[in-house]
Structure 1
C-alpha cells in the first residue's frame, strides 16, 4: 500500500454516507449551477476519503495512522 490508513472504520462509514448525502443535496437543491457542482465535488472528495480510509488533511494536521490488525 502507498499510504497508511488514518480514518477509523466508523468514521469511514460516516464519510461515505455524508459524502453521498452532500452530492445528492447539492444537485437536487442547488442544481447544476457552479455552486452546486462545487458542493457536489466536495461531497465526492469526502466519500473518496471514506472509501480509501486515508484523509490527506488529517495527515497534514498530524493524525497518526491506525495500527494495522495482526
Structure 2
C-alpha cells in the first residue's frame, strides 16, 4: 500500500542520495560536535528523500508530476 506518490525523478534521486551522503560525511568530518550532528542529520534526511523518491517540500510547492512517475 502506497501512501504517497513519487514527486522526484531518477536523476534527482541519485543526486540527492550522493549529495546527502557527502554532506553528512563532510559535516561529521569538518564541524564541531554539536553542529556536526545537526549537519549530518540534515544530510541524512536529504539522502532519505532520494531513496524514497518523495520530497515533502516539493509536494507543498507543487513540484513533480501528477501521474506518480516522478519529476
Classify the TM-score, shorter chain: 0.7 to 0.9
Matched residues, number:
68
* Residue 52 (structure 1) aligns with: 52
Ranges in structure 1 where 5+ consecutive residues have no aligned partner: none
Ranges in structure 2 where 5+ consecutive residues have no aligned partner: none
Distance verdict in 2 for CA 1:9–1:55, change over 3 Å: same
Q: Which stretches of structure 1, 4 residues or longer, exceed 3 Å deviation after superposition?
A: 64-69
What's the TM-score, normalizing by structure 2?
0.87
